[in-house]
Amino acid sequence: MTRQDFLKKAGLGLAAVGIYGNAPGQPGTVEKYKKMITQENSYEIVVVGGSYSGLSAAMALGRSLRKTLIIDSGLPCNRQTPHSHNFITHDGRKPADIAHDAKQQVLAYPTVKAISDRVVEVTGEDHNFTIQVATGNSYNAKKLLFATGVKDIMPAIDGFAACWGITILHCPYCHGYEVRGKNTGILVNDESAMEFAKLIRHWTDQVTVFTNGKAKFNKDELKDLGVPIEEKAIANIKQANGFISAIQFTDGSTISLDALYHRPAFEQHCEIPVTMGCEMTETGHIKVNESQQTTLPGIYASGDCTTRMRAVSVSVAQGSVAGSMLNHELISGS
Ligand SMILES: Cc1cc2nc3c(=O)[nH]c(=O)nc-3n(C[C@H](O)[C@H](O)[C@H](O)COP(=O)(O)OP(=O)(O)OC[C@H]3O[C@@H](n4cnc5c(N)ncnc54)[C@H](O)[C@@H]3O)c2cc1C
């Protein structure tokens, strides 16, 4: 899509711009929203998941005068990470502080409301969704956005979960700079081992690949690269307060480490889009088009639940696209 097409589709093209963005021939937007706002529990858009992506979408929606409800269960995937990196203007901040500031800014828009709760069921269809939350209330919405993220599945290794996001890392762009030059391991046992090792070697030349059992890939390339491979079964991670010091094997031996990379398996944090029938990709993400629209009418998705590119900046960008496209969809009456 060209930038021109995008702006046009988002209702920002010159022809579509009216006061408050209402399309030519439609009733005054302000009057319409004054009326809607008085209808309790009835919203134009319900955003399920109020972390970076959901809040970013809600900002675009609030600025578009849309009556929006954000419902969030408060479990973002990066909650154990002390510092978030690689998002300009917020580099090195606590993840919760970034989300807190975002929420404050979003809630300054009077058509946006947020509640802490977990969505347990969604029924209905485009223009008439019913959203049920765990505490018993239900809400009505014309459109839905799922910005519900993913859940990382920790390997069953004692000490691993305690280090997750602190010294056991998923992404060198987020945390590699902080452990540059350090004694680093990679826990991997598939064909991606070579590509993973090459990537991490950019930040440190002290790299060991741990397979936790017999290697299931050709080891020759890694050997040629000079990266040692340790195939012993892992018993536990030695750590204190999330800071790894060594990997201990089932034979009792240990190898010292400062950091360990791992790409864990994941599942959708919220299964509702799947149960509603949204098409999924081969990688287990919600299938969306360039407007963040799922394959079901009136349902959008953004952030980690839709992409392998897991970064705050990407989630925020996708949320912003979803918000403007939802507004456009409502303007166009579809
Ligand atoms: C350990 C770790 C460290 C990371 N570090 C960095 C970093 O330094 N820099 C960086 O750019 N990126 C980092 N990332 C990636 C970044 O955290 C994610 O890309 C980002 O959090 C995705 O945002 P999101 O809004 O899509 O999902 P999330 O932030 O995961 O939020 C999803 C939200 O949806 C809510 N939710 C789910 N289901 C429901 C439901 N049924 N009802 C209501 N609410 C629901 C959850 O409670 C949660 O609040 C890190 C990720 C991990 C795992």
| Residue of higher predicted confidence among 324 and 36 | 324
Separation of alpha carbons 43 and 67, rounded Å = 5
Separation of alpha carbons 316 and 284, rounded Å = 20
Domains of the chain: 39-151+265-332 (3.50.50.60), 155-262 (3.50.50.60)
Alpha-helical (H) ranges within 169-291 are 172-175, 193-201, 220-225, 272-276
Q: Given this model, what pLDDT does residue 254 score?
A: 98
- 106 confidence band (pLDDT: 50, 70, 90): very high
- 157 confidence band (pLDDT: 50, 70, 90): very high
Q: Is 69 in the pocket of ligand 1 (CB under 6 A)?
A: no
Name the residue of 94, 310, 314, 321 whose CB sits within 8 Å of the most ligand 1 atoms, as the mutation to test its pocket: 310
CA distances from 8 to 109, 166, 290, 301, 325 (A): 24, 43, 14, 21, 10
pLDDT at 190 exceeding the cut of 50: yes
Name the residue of 260, 315, 321 whose CB sits within 8 Å of the most ligand 1 atoms, as the mutation to test its pocket: 315
Q: Is 303 in the pocket of ligand 1 (CB under 6 A)?
A: yes
Helices (H) and strands (E) in the chain, counts: 10, 17
Q: Give the tens place of pLDDT for each residue, 48-104.
A: 999 999 999 999 999 999 999 999 999 999 999 999 999 999 999 999 999 999 999
Mean pLDDT of 297-307: 98
| Residue of higher predicted confidence among 27 and 87 | 87
The set of residues, in sequence order, having a beta carbon less than 8 Å from that of 3 and lying 6+ positions away, is none
Determine contact, residues 154/264, Cβ cutoff 8 Å. Answer: yes
Separation of alpha carbons 80 and 198, rounded Å = 27
- 143 confidence band (pLDDT: 50, 70, 90): very high
Mean pLDDT of 137-141: 96
Q: Is 66 in the pocket of ligand 1 (CB under 6 A)?
A: no
Determine contact, residues 211/224, Cβ cutoff 8 Å. Answer: no
pLDDT at 29 exceeding the cut of 70: no
Q: Is 147 in the pocket of ligand 1 (CB under 6 A)?
A: yes
Name the residue of 115, 312, 313 whose CB sits within 8 Å of the most ligand 1 atoms, as the mutation to test its pocket: 312
Give distance in angstroms: CA of 99 to centre of ligand 1: 10
Q: Is 159 in the pocket of ligand 1 (CB under 6 A)?
A: no
Q: Is 90 in the pocket of ligand 1 (CB under 6 A)?
A: no
| Residue of higher predicted confidence among 334 and 211 | 211
The residue whose CA has the least distance to atom 50 of ligand 1 is 78
Residue 126 token pair: 């485009």
Separation of alpha carbons 45 and 324, rounded Å = 12
Q: Given this model, what pLDDT does residue 40 score?
A: 83
Which ligand 1 atom is nearest residue 118's CA?
42
Q: Given this model, what pLDDT does residue 39 score?
A: 73
pLDDT at 4 exceeding the cut of 70: no
Give distance in angstroms: CA of 32 to centre of ligand 1: 34
* Dihedral sign computed on CA atoms, order 147, 164, 231, 177: positive
DSSP 8-class letter at 154: -
Give distance in angstroms: CA of 294 to centre of ligand 1: 19
Would you tell me the crossing angle of helices 312-331 and 52-62 to the nearest 10 degrees? 40
pLDDT at 20 exceeding the cut of 60: no
What does 69-86 look like in DSSP terms, one character per residue? EEEE-S--TTTT-S-B-S
Residue 52 token pair: 């970076």
- 21 confidence band (pLDDT: 50, 70, 90): very low
Class of residue 93 by CB neighbours under 10 A (exposed 0-12, middle 13-18, buried 19+): middle
Residues paired with residue 209 on neighbouring β-strands, in sequence order: 186, 229
- Of 109, 108, 85, 113, whose CA–CA distance to 98 is shortest? 85
Q: Is 106 in the pocket of ligand 1 (CB under 6 A)?
A: no
Separation of alpha carbons 102 and 315, rounded Å = 13
- Of 270, 254, 330, 320, whose CA–CA distance to 53 is shortest? 320
- Of 154, 164, 168, 98, whose CA–CA distance to 312 is shortest? 98
Which ligand 1 atom is nearest residue 303's CA?
26
Which ligand 1 atom is nearest residue 117's CA?
43
Which ligand 1 atom is nearest residue 71's CA?
43
Q: Give the tens place of pLDDT for each residue, 221-233.
A: 999 999 999 999 9
- Of 321, 315, 322, 273, whose CA–CA distance to 77 is shortest? 315
Q: Is 93 in the pocket of ligand 1 (CB under 6 A)?
A: no
**Torsion (CA) 193, 199, 203, 207 in degrees, nearest 10:** 20
Q: Above pLDDT 70, what percent of the chain?
A: 89
pLDDT at 294 exceeding the cut of 90: yes
Mean pLDDT of 156-161: 97
What is the overall mean pLDDT for the chain? 91
Three-class secondary structure of residue 171 per DSSP:
coil
Give distance in angstroms: CA of 108 to centre of ligand 1: 23
Q: Given this model, what pLDDT does residue 334 score?
A: 78
Which ligand 1 atom is nearest residue 87's CA?
11
Q: Given this model, what pLDDT does residue 64 score?
A: 98
Q: Characterize the bridge pairing of strands 259-261 and 168-169.
A: parallel
- Of 223, 215, 158, 148, whose CA–CA distance to 187 is shortest? 215
Determine contact, residues 112/62, Cβ cutoff 8 Å. Answer: yes
